[in-house]
Amino acid sequence: MKAAIVTIGDEILIGQIVDTNSSFIAKSLDKIGVEISEMISISDDKKHILDTFASLQNKVELVVITGGLGPTKDDVTKKTFCDYFEDELVVDQKVLAHVTLLIEGFYKRTITQINKDQALVPSKCTVLHNQVGTAPGMWMKKGNTVFVSLPGVPYEMKYLVENEIIPKIIREYKRPFIIHKTILTCGQGESLVAERIEYWENNLPKFIRLAYLPAAGIVRLRLSARGINKEQLEVAIAESVKLLDAIIHDIIVGFDDEETIEVVVGKLLEKQNKTISTAESCTGGKIAEVLTSVSGSSKYFKGSVVSYATDVKIDVLGISESLIKEYSVVSREVVSAMALSIKKMMKTDYAIATTGNAGPSKGDSNAEIGTVFIALATPNEIIVEEFDFGQPREKVIDRAVNKSLELLQKEILKNV
């Protein structure tokens, strides 16, 4: 079963909002064996929508559309659906009752005609009940293609995908199995990783595909297997991962698509009942941000000082002014003092500190742009490393964050 995802909205095309709906829908469909062949973003224009529907007709078995179902005049999806299916809008009494209860019962205000119009749906459609909003989903079939229209509001869209669309597809369609396994590596670039695993990659079973997903200092290796025998796919994936682990065990830090480096580190800290704090200069608090993005991080993350300015290093962290004058703020000596200071201040087992010149211009140091010092204070020692992360600025910061967490992960593993 192949599918296309269409997002409707000028706000997406002009960059006013980021389209996260397509990603969620794609992941949800992929998990049940539906192959995504296209993702398209189009404007709130009737002709453009009709042309897109026609281009996808009989090309894929499923088209999932989000957006354009609101109560205002610029939301044209429902009327366009009627034109495409040669249908007319009628009031769905169940939807009207739900909208009335939501507006008058929950929001405590009188329902208006514009609210009531949310209950208008094409007469031939299967209505997908939206328990968490006023715009229902619509399921209609033409030829060999099912068109499903969903609201663009993310939490409403997610509710309908999880509670209406996925169960309906599982009930009504026979699908192949798609098995994914993602291996998270840190410390080596995409080309070097590819060189190391070339023989392994060339000898993968024909039904397993490998994709490289590189980021700053991180490369994800995603294995995908498709077929009708789920057990056979899982065994083949497991065997392939085992062989891969034997080749690049030194850079593998996780084995899950959702298992980011911060998740891996968090699990290790929690398992060992250890704590972490950060003192950040050039990374501007981003290490603390990614650590605390993980649910439950309060069990191991104590706090951070973003000592971006030199006087904050002196006044808050207590770094000696003479030390800074002698070695400069971007130095091995200063980053070491920062890590030891925050570790003592927050009373943590580990502490990370960063200082550097991320660019595009130099600050209170003559160190070359791209230079970053990272210090890791452990229960027993202080480890300091110097890096040249090049440019641009965003790359320097992202690589510094990932390298900091990589150093922490490897140090924790020494005590496992």
**pLDDT at res. 68:** 81
Residues in the chain: 416
CA distance 337 to 327: 12
What percentage of residues in the chain have a pLDDT greater than 90? 76
Token pair of 323 as six digits: 């030390």
pLDDT of residue 11: 85
Query: Can you give the pLDDT at residue 355?
Result: 96
- Within 8 A by CB and 6+ apart from 113, the residues are none
Kindly state the helix (H) or strand (E) to which residue 65 belongs, with its residue range: strand 62-66
Alpha helices in 203-348 (DSSP H): 230-248, 261-272, 286-292, 310-315, 321-327, 332-346
pLDDT for the residue 71: 67
Residue 42, phi-psi category: left (phi > 0), alpha (psi -120 to 50), beta (remainder): beta
* Tens of pLDDT, residues 314-342: 999 999 999 999 999 999 999 999 999 99
Distance in Å from the first CA to the final CA of the chain: 45
pLDDT tens readout for residues 227-277: 989 999 999 999 999 999 999 999 998 887 667 899 999 999 999 999 999
Q: How confident is the model over 50-61, as pLDDT tens digits?
A: 999 999 999 999
CA 78 distance to own-chain centroid: 30
| 112 vs 73, residue with greater confidence | 112
Ranges assigned E (strand) in 154-307: 177-186, 208-215, 218-227, 252-254, 276-280, 301-306
The Cα-based distances of 168 to 90, 165, 256 in angstroms read 23, 5, 28
- The average confidence (pLDDT) of the chain is 92
Structural domains in the chain, CATH included, are: 2-86+123-172 (3.40.980.10), 177-254 (3.30.70.2860), 261-413 (3.90.950.20)
Q: Enumerate long-range contacts of 10-13, CB under 8 Å, 24 or more apart.
A: 10/43, 10/44, 12/41, 12/67, 13/41, 13/42, 13/43
Q: In whole angstroms, what is the distance from residue 278 CA to residue 355 CA?
A: 12
